[in-house]
Amino acid sequence: MAEHIRIRKAPGTWVVQSGGAVLGESSNALELSEGDYAPVIYFPRDDIAMAMLDRTDKVTHCPHKGDANYFSIVNMSSVTKNVVWTYENPLDGVAAIKDHVAFYQGDTVKVEQL
DSSP, collapsed to helix, strand or coil, labels residue 66 as: strand
Q: Is residue 103 part of a domain?
A: yes
Please give the Cα distance from 34 to 8 (Å, whole number).
12
What residues make up the domain containing 26? 5-107
Q: What is the CATH number of the domain that holds 74?
A: 2.170.150.40
Q: Is residue 31 part of a domain?
A: yes
Regarding pTM above 0.85, the answer is yes
Q: Is residue 112 part of a domain?
A: no
What tens digit of pLDDT does each residue of 84-111 get? 999 999 999 999 999 999 999 998 899 9
What tens digit of pLDDT does each residue of 41-67 get? 999 999 999 999 999 999 999 999 999
46 contacts: CB under 8 Å, gap ≥ 6: 99
Q: Is residue 43 part of a domain?
A: yes
Q: Is residue 113 part of a domain?
A: no
Total structural domains within the chain: 1
